[in-house]
């Protein structure tokens, strides 16, 4: 009954104790049932007197430890759970719970060791992962199987946290949230469950909810470095770069040996323009994780910074190590591509970029046919008649300025120019339109796929979507300025949705020479997304689909979208800046021409480049690799002839 009806187990145990008041097993079950009902003080009163009498009863010490843990008594809980693991070294549940308590008491290394033991029912157990997947899929009998095979029940907060960790490893973050909600209902003060909730919400790009989950944890236990580091990452996600810098510094004051924290600190320092400090933080990360290809790539991704010869030698030595992980190998190829390019060794540089892209492509496959089908369906949906029938729908707000197009096309520069105006805030790349489109896609039937499903929506729904977008993005805005820039490039896929829900929003399509743009993408190792960018032919076909889609909207929504050429902006910054501001209904301000003096955080790969005046040296960089661009040139040969459709 403990796993299905703990309140019933309490009643049965109490009845039995009237007949046998000193029965050890019945008292033990009563304590365990009380804990599962949330009656922690009473559970402790029952369990504590039993522990001295039975030092060998691992389950008793486990229940005692978990009761203490739920009451926030971490040191005593650690001691009790240590006794449980000593009595039964094969209990993965006890080891996992002990790891949580060791982390709370400032022992992160011991915590990781406790939770990484290769035991049945542990994080690394494939059979256990299958059982957890069955639970996440809602398969019949999954709960019973987890109970009988691994001794878990879903009324135990420690079991819920163990399952949550497996779910996070499997990428089942949405499925994990109900488990953590159940854990916090059972034991509201159990900090490890709150910590996991913050991680999951952060990973699901729900930073405000993640912050709400982690803040009480830090308030209760301010001395845990990993908690501070997680809040720093959440602040960075929210665009609160200054607070992220402070939190990373606080985490490092508690523990200077975590390479991941140093790496994150480097990202935050880079975002606020402290490049020298960012380099030092990345160096500190490498001192603690010398084989981290990702940290080397972070240095390369500074763009305006160059590797020393010793760095190049070290990276080449690392590549010769057969034990190097595939992920580190991929990052190192991209970093060496940048290093060789800086040394004008373009053949070697391209070969490293090619190998890095090939490695990335293995883990991030791309379906060009599916993408082309989406573009085709979007063009078919947003016909002149469809748009005319929905004229006047949407929210009456001109606050958003969408800067979109292909990545590496100059959108960060456009945002920096606009954000240098006194009425405009640069909010960087916001994921909200894409998230809303995905939600709409999940709501429809397969026979009527998004965006075609928009035809079924009542007119009032588009204004509601516009209001939802403004509410979702409010947390990422802090200046109080009347306009803000959302420069997520992939929003070009949802121009039709943007137009319907926010008909007064400005939409700026940034264009760059196709070869220059695509080669720049090929040289970039993105943290996520952009799966099309790891193959030259796919890059070219994706660019063709982009131009086809934007040509369609230029035709059906004449004058609605402003197209800005990166090359024109470089040739005549003032003319193009005035054109931008005029389109946005803004008076010209000289600060927009001195955008490089604007003190604001920038988190995209172009962060260092927009902190100096406009330069021409990037226009023809693609020509360095011209001999090897055949597949790209061939794919781009299908670019549409837009003619008069170009505004």
Q: What is the pLDDT of residue 611?
A: 46
Asked, colleague to colleague, whether 6-198 and 368-618+630-645 share their fold, the answer is: no
The mean pLDDT value for 270-284 works out to 94
Q: What is the pLDDT of residue 213?
A: 95
Report residue 478's pLDDT band, with 50, 70 and 90 as the boundaries: confident
pLDDT higher than 90, residue 100: yes
Report residue 614's pLDDT band, with 50, 70 and 90 as the boundaries: low
Tell me the pLDDT tens digit for each residue of 231-272: 999 999 888 889 999 999 999 999 999 999 999 999 999 988
SS3 letters for 399-433?
CEEEEEECCCCCHHHHHHHHHCCCCEEECCCCCHH
User: Which positions ≥6 away from 469 have C-beta within 8 Å?
Assistant: 400, 432, 433, 436, 501, 502
The mean pLDDT value for 20-24 works out to 90
Q: How far apart are CA 211 and CA 239, in angstroms?
A: 13
Tell me the pLDDT tens digit for each residue of 525-576: 987 779 999 999 999 999 999 999 999 999 999 999 999 999 999 989 999 9
Q: Confirm if 508 and 562 have CB atoms less than 8 A apart.
A: yes
Q: Confirm if 553 and 560 have CB atoms less than 8 A apart.
A: yes
Query: Could you name the CATH architecture of 368-618+630-645?
Result: 3-Layer(aba) Sandwich (3.40)
The mean pLDDT value for 375-383 works out to 97
Tell me the pLDDT tens digit for each residue of 389-421: 999 999 999 999 999 999 999 898 999 999 999
Place of tokens 């837009």: 642
pLDDT higher than 90, residue 53: no
CATH number of 232-363: 1.25.40.10
Report residue 2's pLDDT band, with 50, 70 and 90 as the boundaries: confident
Q: Is 89 helix (H, G, I), strand (E, B) or coil?
A: coil
Report residue 644's pLDDT band, with 50, 70 and 90 as the boundaries: very low
pLDDT higher than 60, residue 471: yes
Q: What is the pLDDT of residue 595?
A: 79
CATH 3.40.47.10 is right for the domain spanning 6-198: no
The mean pLDDT value for 311-329 works out to 95
Preceding omega of 451 cis (within 30 degrees of 0): yes
Tell me the pLDDT tens digit for each residue of 481-495: 999 999 999 999 999
| DSSP one-letter string for 280-333 | HHHHHHHHH-TT-HHHHHHHHTTSS----HHHHHHHHHHHT-TTS-HHHHHHHH
Q: What tokens appear for 573 in the block? A: 């910054």
Q: What is the pLDDT of residue 86?
A: 95
CA 597 to each of CA 273, 389, 416, 592, 608: distance values in angstroms, whole numbers, following the listed order: 11, 46, 10, 9, 12
Domain edges within the chain: 6-198, 232-363, 368-618+630-645
Report residue 89's pLDDT band, with 50, 70 and 90 as the boundaries: very high
Mean of per-residue pLDDT scores for the chain: 91
pLDDT higher than 60, residue 608: no
pLDDT higher than 70, residue 591: yes
Tell me the pLDDT tens digit for each residue of 110-151: 999 999 999 999 998 999 999 999 999 999 989 989 988 888
Q: What is the pLDDT of residue 617?
A: 63
Tell me if the pTM is above 0.75: yes
Q: What is the pLDDT of residue 639?
A: 73
pLDDT > 70: percent of the chain: 95
Order of strands across the sheet with 483-486? 424-426, 483-486, 400-405, 506-511, 561-565
Q: What is the pLDDT of residue 486?
A: 96
Q: What is the pLDDT of residue 483?
A: 96
Tell me the pLDDT tens digit for each residue of 148-206: 888 888 889 999 999 999 999 999 999 999 999 999 988 888 999 999 999 999 999 89
pLDDT higher than 80, residue 605: no
Q: What is the pLDDT of residue 646?
A: 34
User: Which positions ≥6 away from 569 have C-beta within 8 Å?
Assistant: 410, 413, 414, 576, 577, 614
CB atoms within 10 A of CB 519: 25
Q: How far apart are CA 326 and CA 82, in angstroms?
A: 37
Q: Is 476 helix (H, G, I), strand (E, B) or coil?
A: coil
Report residue 428's pLDDT band, with 50, 70 and 90 as the boundaries: confident
Q: How far apart are CA 589 and CA 417, in angstroms?
A: 10
């Amino acid at each position: 009954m403990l796993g299905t009806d703990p309140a019933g187990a309490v009643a049965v145990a109490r009845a039995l104790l009237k007949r046998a008041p000193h029965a050890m097993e019945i008292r033990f079950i009563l304590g365990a049932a009380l804990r599962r009902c949330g009656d922690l003080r009473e559970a402790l009163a029952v369990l504590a007197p039993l522990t001295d009498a039975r030092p060998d009863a691992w389950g008793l010490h486990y229940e005692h430890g978990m009761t203490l843990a739920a009451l926030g008594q971490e040191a005593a809980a650690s001691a009790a759970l240590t006794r449980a693991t000593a009595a039964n070294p094969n209990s993965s549940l006890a080891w996992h719970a002990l790891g949580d308590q060791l982390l709370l008491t400032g022992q992160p290394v011991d915590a990781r060791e406790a939770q990484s033991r290769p035991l049945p029912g542990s994080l690394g157990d494939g059979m256990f992962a299958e059982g957890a997947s069955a639970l996440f899929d809602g398969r019949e009998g999954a709960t019973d199987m987890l109970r009988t095979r691994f001794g878990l029940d879903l009324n135990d907060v420690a079991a819920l946290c163990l399952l949550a960790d497996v779910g996070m490893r499997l990428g089942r973050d949405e499925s994990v949230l109900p488990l953590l909600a159940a854990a916090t209902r059972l034991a509201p003060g159990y900090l490890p469950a709150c910590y996991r909730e913050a991680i999951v919400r952060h990973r699901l790009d729900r930073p405000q909810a993640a912050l709400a989950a982690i803040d009480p944890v830090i308030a209760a236990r301010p001395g845990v470095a990993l908690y501070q580091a997680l809040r720093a990452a959440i602040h960075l996600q929210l665009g609160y770069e200054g607070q992220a810098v402070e939190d990373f510094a606080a985490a490092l004051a508690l523990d200077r040996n975590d390479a991941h924290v140093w790496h994150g600190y480097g990202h935050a320092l880079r975002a606020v323009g402290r490049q020298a400090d960012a380099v030092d933080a990345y160096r500190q990360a490498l001192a603690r994780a010398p084989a981290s290809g990702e940290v080397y790539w972070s240095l390369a991704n500074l763009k305006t910074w160059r590797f020393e010869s010793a760095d190049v030698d070290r990276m080449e030595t690392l590549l010769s190590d057969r034990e190097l992980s595939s992920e580190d190998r991929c990052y190192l190829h991209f970093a060496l591509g940048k290093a060789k390019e800086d040394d004008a060794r373009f053949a070697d540089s391209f070969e490293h970029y090619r190998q890095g892209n090939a490695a990335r492509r293995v883990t991030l496959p791309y379906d060009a046919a599916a993408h082309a089908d989406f573009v085709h369906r979007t063009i078919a949906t947003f016909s002149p008649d469809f748009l005319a029938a929905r004229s006047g729908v949407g929210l009456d707000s001109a606050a958003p300025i969408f800067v979109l197009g292909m990545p590496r096309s100059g959108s960060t520069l456009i945002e920096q120019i606009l954000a240098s105006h006194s009425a405009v805030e640069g909010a960087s790349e916001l994921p909200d339109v894409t998230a809303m489109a995905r939600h709409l896609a999940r709501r429809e039937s397969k026979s009527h796929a998004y965006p075609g499903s928009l035809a079924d929506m009542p007119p009032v729904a588009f204004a509601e979507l516009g209001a939802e977008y403004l509410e979702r993005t409010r947390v990422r805005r802090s200046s109080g300025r009347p306009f803000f820039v959302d420069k997520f490039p992939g929003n070009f896929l949802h121009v039709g949705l943007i137009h319907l829900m926010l008909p007064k929003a400005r939409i700026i399509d940034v264009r760059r020479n196709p070869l220059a743009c695509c080669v720049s993408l090929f040289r970039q190792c993105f943290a996520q997304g952009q799966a099309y960018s790891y193959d030259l032919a796919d890059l070219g076909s994706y660019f063709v689909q982009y131009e086809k889609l934007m040509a369609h909207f230029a035709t059906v929504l004449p004058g609605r979208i402003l197209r800005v050429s990166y090359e024109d902006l470089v040739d005549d910054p003032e003319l193009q800046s005035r054109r931008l501001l005029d389109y946005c209904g803004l008076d010209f301000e000289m600060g927009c021409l001195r955008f490089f003096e604007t003190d604001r955080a920038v988190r995209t790969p172009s962060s260092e480049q927009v902190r100096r005046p406009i330069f021409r040296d990037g226009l023809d960089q693609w020509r360095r690799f011209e001999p090897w661009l055949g597949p790209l040139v061939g794919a781009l040969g299908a670019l549409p002839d837009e003619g008069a459709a170009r505004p």
